Chain A
Amino acid sequence: MSTIVLLLSNIWAKKARSFGLAFAVALAVMTVVVLTVVSSGLESSAAAILKIGKSDFTVAQKNVSDVLFSYLDTHQLAEVRATKGVANAVGALIETERINAANPLFLEIGLPLDELTPFGVHVLAGRPYSANATHEVMLGWRAAEDMGLHVGDGFYANGTKNTIVGIYSTGISFGDLGAIFPLSAVQAYNRVPGAVTLVFVKVAPGYRIGEVEKRITYAHPELTTIRTVTQFGRADRNLVFLKAAATGSTILAVVIGAIVVGNTMMLSLFERTREFGLLRAIGWTRTRVVSLLLGEGMVLAVVGAAVGVGLSYLVTSILQALPQLAGVLHSNYTSEAFWRGLYTGLGMTILGTLYPALRAGFLAPLQALSHE
């Protein structure tokens, strides 16, 4: 018999308790993974807005709760465009609208006709809208496919009935799930003449992106530039709150989990006092006894974490299937979520096991042996 077999047989000998401990770990890990996966899903789908156009970086208004609440006027757009090193700057007005139950946050982009090509829009069927049309729309091919719409069909959006004049592709799935209108039509419907939400900037050859970004934010302290998803997270306060909530819940899950694990381990310590006394009496070192208990905890933590990741998958699927949440909640299974789950499981187990394990290691052998 090796130490690892002894360890496993100890776990097996107390099946109910081991199961309970692993389950506590699984619940905590599940909570953490679901929160991570959902917040990361929201982040990446929100950040996908930044990627709907071909650009080196995006300019938005600073300190808005949702990046779609960003607002730049004609003047600001012109100044960004005139900044040294900017090859071109496309201003887009972006909004989301509830089209139907399946599309509660349908993406609508207002773009000037002459910016379609620089923005990376390819017309797959039909034609682009005309520059100042008020009832014309181009539909992303994925949106068209989802809703079963074709060129020539009617499409209620942006406050009016539009005719689908073309089907486009941007090559970016998020962009292809939306619709593009003439900029003036979206501005008119939202009563924000001349305004745009985001400016997509392409840097001229020979200029460094970071330099151009700095130049813009220096001249416009009210604006911020976004190049990566992380920077986006900082621009969007809702996401900041969401991620803070996820972190807070992780800490809470670890603490509650550690208490549950610690409780179980203390019970186990009292039950197994004689065993530990005997092991010490026949020459086991303190370290060996402590390691045995920590090892038992670790095995259960890993099993619990694996179960927790599986449960999280189940829970996000159920959440996404709820009619109230359909289309809003996106899950994004990153390796980060997986590692976070594992760390949570191991962290709470180490926290919960350390004290009982040390107590076991430091038992006086004789007293422990006469323990009832």
Chain B
Amino acid sequence: MNEHHAIAPTLSSQDIEPTGIPVQGGHISALTSESRSNVEKGYASLAIEVIGVTKEFDGGAVRALNGMDLRVERGEFIAIMGPSGCGKSTLLHLLAALDSPTSGTIRVEGQDLSHLPDPSRYRRQTIGLVFQLHNLLPRLSALANIEVAMMGSHRPHRERTVWARQLLSELDLADRERRHPPQLSGGERQRVAIARALANDPPVLLVDEPTGNLDSDASANVLALFARLQREYGVTTVMVTHDPAVAQAAGRILQMRDGRIGDPIGA
């Protein structure tokens, strides 16, 4: 499963000094030869495959997804736009195996989500999810919120705090690590949630309105980070947004309407 880890091999094999402290800032700039070569070899090149997926709620009264099809290449950065209530969050929840479709098939990184042997492990290792409403644990510090996501992961204990700090500084939150969510601004919370989604080096990142609470500078930083994760680590990113300017950061923009994908915009 190592080829699924976009960031971990880099951090553990190249950036950890014998002391166990990663070289500051080194993990992002170093390239993961492994994950890139996997993409180049065309090895299971589809990261996400959604085939004829329908999701109904309330016994069919609400049809949030309606025969949806979607294919995302490994290492792609796509944006999904669409009116409120068209099923964007529902799609991300299904991709995160937090809910199952009424019908249809979803495969992520080659795994059929309806036959996951261990959904917890899938959520921990394969995907990083940023909810539309920042779901941080209010009683824990920003740092601890990230560390909690690593509990049960393969990362050695002594590296977790170091890595969580590094993620925070990557998101310009280095001086906020001890703050608790109620003491953080909406945008800061959003960024902590993004840092948490990256905690286990997921090959697939699912983000729901990541820039909803961010000003243009902060938005630009977060988008630059997504672009860098894609470019340098081959992370597949699916970003839901209602902001056309934000969507422009993605390589492909998809319009959703009434529970399915409309015509692609851009390339």
Contact = CB atoms under 8 A, between A and B. Distances in A.
Given A6-B148, A282-B123, A285-B120, A13 B139 contact: yes
Contacts of A282: 123-124, 129, 148-149, 196
A366 B99 contact: yes
A370 to B, nearest CB: 9
Interface residues of A, number: 22
A4 to B, nearest CB: 11
Nearest to A5: B144
Contacts, number: 63
A284 B152 contact: yes
Interface in A1-21: 1-3, 6, 9-10, 13
Interface stretch (A116-124, A174-182, A273-281): A273-281
B151 interface: yes
Contact of A283 (B93, B120, B147, B161): B120
A286 interface: yes
B135 A281 contact: yes
Interface in B64-103: 93, 96, 98-99
B137 A278 contact: yes
A348 B152 CA distance: 28
B51 interface: no
Interface residues of B, number: 29
Nearest to A275: B137
Given A1-B143, A2-B157, A13-B139, A279 B148 contact: yes
B230 interface: no
A278 B148 CA distance: 10
Contacts of B96: 281
A94 B146 CA distance: 74
Given A281-B98, A282-B149, A1 B125 contact: no
B200 interface: yes
B144 A283 contact: no
A9 B138 CA distance: 12
B200 to A, nearest CB: 7
B228 interface: no
A284 B129 contact: no
A308 interface: no
B142 to A, nearest CB: 11
A286 B121 CA distance: 11
Interface string B108-132: 0000000000101111110001010
Contacts of A280: 120, 123
A369 interface: yes
A284 B149 CA distance: 8
A365 interface: yes
Interface of A: 1-3, 6, 9-10, 13, 274-275, 278-286, 288, 365-366, 369
29 contacts: A1-B140, A1-B143, A1-B148, A3-B151, A6-B140, A6-B148, A9-B139, A9-B140, A274-B135, A278-B135, A279-B148, A280-B123, A281-B98, A282-B129, A282-B148, A282-B149, A283-B120, A283-B121, A283-B124, A283-B149, A283-B152, A283-B153, A283-B200, A284-B124, A284-B152, A286-B120, A288-B120, A288-B151, A366-B99
Shortest 7 CB-CB contacts between residues of A and residues of B: A283-B124, A285-B120, A283-B123, A1-B144, A1-B147, A282-B149, A366-B98
